[in-house]
């Protein structure tokens, strides 16, 4: 499934976070990974709005093993996500660095049309079931 929302502004961020969360959970992304992806998407979308002309387009594509979020803005700038955590004295770079830590893939590409940031989280439903089966169980009254 693929769906795009155009002209996302700061006023839309809460709605977009709910949309990302709902779609990720719908296809079976585990709750913790869903929250991580939602936070990463929020950081990237906020950056796109702030530095890319005040609005962004957000596309979410879901499959049985992958959730991909693409954020496009109108920025003419081209940059890359920091590989190392920015120093406390750095003014910028934490949002993209954090997003990179929270998802499996973060790719940036720029063109004359603007910037594209692609985030993805992969998962294997069988691996998730195995992890649940081996998780410690609580004993006693809860």
Q: Provide the residue ranges of all domains of the chain, joining segments of one domain with +.
A: 2-82+92-133
Q: For residue 79, what pLDDT is reported? A: 64
Mean pLDDT within 65-77: 89
Q: For residue 124, what pLDDT is reported? A: 74
Question: CA-CA distances (angstroms) from residue 66 to 27, 30, 32?
Answer: 9, 12, 15
Under 8 Å between Cβ of 66 and 112: no
Mean pLDDT within 79-102: 76
Q: Which residue in this structure is represented by tokens 């839309």?
A: 12
Residues 2-82+92-133, CATH architecture: 2-Layer Sandwich (3.30)
Q: What confidence tens digit (pLDDT) does each residue in 14-55 have?
A: 999 999 999 999 988 989 999 999 999 999 999 999 988 899
Instruction: Indicate whether this model's pTM tops 0.75.
Output: yes
């Amino acid at each position: 499934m693929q769906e795009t929302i155009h002209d996302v502004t700061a006023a839309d961020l809460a709605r977009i976070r709910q949309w990302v969360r709902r779609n990720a959970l719908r296809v079976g992304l585990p709750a913790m990974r869903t929250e991580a992806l939602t936070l990463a998407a929020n950081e990237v979308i906020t950056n796109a709005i702030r530095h890319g002309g005040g609005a962004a387009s957000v596309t979410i594509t879901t499959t049985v093993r992958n959730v991909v979020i693409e954020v496009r803005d109108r920025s003419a700038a081209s940059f890359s996500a920091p590989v190392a955590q920015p120093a406390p004295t750095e003014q910028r770079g934490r949002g993209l660095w954090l997003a990179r830590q929270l998802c499996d893939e973060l790719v940036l590409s720029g063109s004359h049309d603007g910037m594209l940031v692609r985030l993805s989280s992969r998962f294997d439903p069988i691996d998730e079931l195995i992890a649940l089966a081996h998780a410690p169980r609580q004993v006693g009254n809860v």
